[in-house]
């Protein structure tokens, strides 16, 4: 179970990071992908912190 949620966190983190990088490459300051990426990165960070507290 722990490895499953770890993979989920990693996938969300990668998608968020990719969205942020994509928007920065296209130089969109308040673009959709930048907002989406920041939200996904925040979600993955919260999930990661909760995971660490459970151990």
Q: Is residue 16 part of a domain?
A: yes
Domain span at residue 18 reads 2-50
pLDDT of residue 36: 79
- The predicted-structure confidence for 7-44, as pLDDT tens digits, reads as follows 888 888 888 888 888 777 777 666 677 777 788 888 88
The token pair at 18 is 């990719």
In-domain check, residue 18? yes
Contacts of 36 (CB under 8 A, 6+ apart): 16, 19
Domains in the chain, number: 1
Number of H helices, E strands in the chain: 2, 0
Over residues 39-53, mean pLDDT:
83
Q: Report if residue 31 sits inside a domain.
A: yes
55 falls within a domain? no
């Amino acid at each position: 179970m722990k490895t499953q949620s770890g993979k989920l966190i990693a996938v969300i983190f990668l998608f968020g990071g990719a969205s942020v990088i994509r928007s920065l490459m296209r130089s969109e300051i308040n673009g959709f992908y930048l907002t989406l990426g920041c939200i996904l990165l925040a979600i993955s960070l919260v999930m990661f912190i909760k995971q660490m507290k459970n151990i």
